[in-house]
Amino acid sequence: MVKIQQFFVKYQKIILSLNTVLILLAEAAKWLFHINAAYQVLMLVVGVIGLIPILLTAISSLKVKLVSIDVLVSLAVIGAIIIGEFNEAAIVTWLFALGDVLEELTLKKTRKAVSDLTKMAPRTALVLQDDGTTEEEDVDFIDPGEKILIKTGDQVPVDGKIVSGSGYLNEANVNGESKPADKKQGDQVYAGTILEDGTLTVETTAAGDDTTFGKIIEMVEEAQDSKSHTEKLINRFSKYYTPAVLVIAIIVGLITRDFKLAITVMVLGCPGALVIGVPVSTVAGIGNGAKNGVMFKGSQVMDAARKIDEIAFDKTGTLTVGHPEVNKIEVLSGNKDEVVNLAANIESQSNHPLAKAMAKLSGQKIDQIETKTVKGKGMIADLDRERYYLGNLALIEENTFANPKLTQVVNKLSNLGNSVVVLANSDQSKLAIFGIKDRLRSEAEIALMQLKQLGIKKLVMLSGDNQETAQQIAADLPIDEVHGQMLPADKAQFVKQEQENGHHVTFIGDGVNDSPALANADVAIAIGSGTDVAVDVSDIVLVKNDLRKIAYALSISKRTVLNMNENIVIALLTVLLLFIGLFAGYVEMASGMFIHEFSILVVILNGMRLIRNRRKVDNHQFPDKEKDLALNM
């Protein structure tokens, strides 16, 4: 039986297409060529083919003591065949198969990105031996306390503490921050991060699956498994609907001794509109979202989204653009254009992210600059027999002299959340300070205002950056809470804690480091420009990277679920009226079938109402200065 079920699942779409062709041929035989025998035979063939997978599923559900809609449909189709209503059997099974295909198309999700994440995990490490040599070993066999050598460009293979050396680590895989971290002796490092500059010797504290990166993978896989068994709305409802119709049919048969009437009850009670109504609403709602840059991964996502009352945002790459830019320039001495251009040309010699931000300020190109890097501090440049220092305050004070005004400006910019770079020559006759920081997305403020207006009670920002910098970023936003220095596990734990406190939580992020929190949230939303892993574990993807689409996603979710419920009501009301008409003597099999099929058309048309290009925005909903942005929501 299992092999037969697998066959029908594997070729589900082909079988549906075949049955569609056979139904069309049957209708042509009846209405064009008036060959009723051919019509009956073709409809019987469709009914039997369509019945097999439904009947097998019904048997499986009965084995676990579940009376599903498959049981009712199977009995109704068998009964219809017995009393010679082959067209009814064909249409019911065809509609049922169509509903399954539509639902499958919307719920299909891939785990490819999660397997890619697993491949990203470091596999080997250079272990330092007692004689000073190194030996490559599998990370699963490395014990705490062993010392690991890490060179420029290498991926850190273990969690540990630096015992010698210094360098810049790209920690985006762990904390999501785009700015490389300056690491020195005594600092903690994490597996999966990349050493962009320097050489480190690290004492292992955790390796393999026990590392922070290993736990990211584990949490994502566990949370995805727990979500993959979400029960379909239609099956939850059928728990009560199906037994009720069966009981009514049995009672009618026992009282009237009329087998045909009992079968008619099951046939008319067969939920054709109910079966097709939910998938139609789902496809229409998801289609609406796709047209507007929002990708939903199934109807259960929409059902969960309408209950959301708290949204937690990652900072870097989600609320901010994820690329540092020069935010402030203070020239204390020298010609501003000349000094800025000089600094930009010097920084163009470096690949550091802060240097790339400053290099964009370059005007006229200067070719004769000779530079060298001072690890952890900046750069020294020689031009026209004059030496320039470009880097942090320590580099300037060590090579020139302490300047109280310079220190004051540096501290001021630092307190505003900037990374500070200073340019000075030996006598500070040319002196400039550059404040560099990641900037908010242009639509971030209005997007969060829209969420407040939709009734979201709590907006939270979670960041791997320090608390002060995170607070500065959030200062211009309607954020209720800000939490800094959050590792991936901390973000995931925050989501779980809020859920335990009774909140329905959405998490919005873009990076590998966000994936545990995304996977554990009630609804996970990924920025489309984010990593494959973040997109894969999410329930909703903002394809156009526009945060204003969050409010749209929540709105269309509510409308879609409402539409589903309307279709259920229409389907049930139709069945109720058919039963009343049947027992009152006004409805027979033929007229009942006409009403039955008409109700299917009604729910399809009702579902199609969801297909609109844009969501309406009330004039009073947004202040005038924001209305233009809102119209693009």
List residues with catalytic annotation.
314
Distance CA 507, CA 487 (A): 15
Whole-angstrom Cα distance, residue 252 to residue 149?
81
Task: Locate 422 and state its tokens.
Answer: 């200073």
Of 293, 298, 390, nearest in space to 343 by CA:
390
Q: Are strands 378-383 and 370-374 parallel, antiparallel or unpaired?
A: antiparallel
Q: Are 323 and 386 in contact (CB under 8 A)?
A: no
Strand partners, 524: 507
For residue 397, CA distances in Å to 1, 389, 392, 423 come to: 81, 10, 9, 11
Between CA 608 and CA 617, with CA 611 as vertex, the angle to 5 degrees is 130
CA distances from 395 to 356, 377, 509 (A): 19, 6, 36
In contact, 310 and 503? CB cutoff 8 Å: yes
Burial class, 500, CB count within 10 angstroms (exposed 0-12 / middle 13-18 / buried 19+) = exposed
User: Which backbone phi and psi does 461 adopt, to 5 degrees?
Assistant: -115, 130
Q: Which residues contact 9 (CB under 8 A, 6 or more apart)?
A: 53
Looking at the DSSP assignment, which residues form a beta bridge with residue 512? none
Structure tokens at 566: 């309307």
User: Residue 198 belongs to what H/E stretch?
Assistant: strand 194-207
Rounded-to-integer distance, Cα 367 and Cα 220, Å: 50
DSSP-derived 3-state class of residue 451: helix
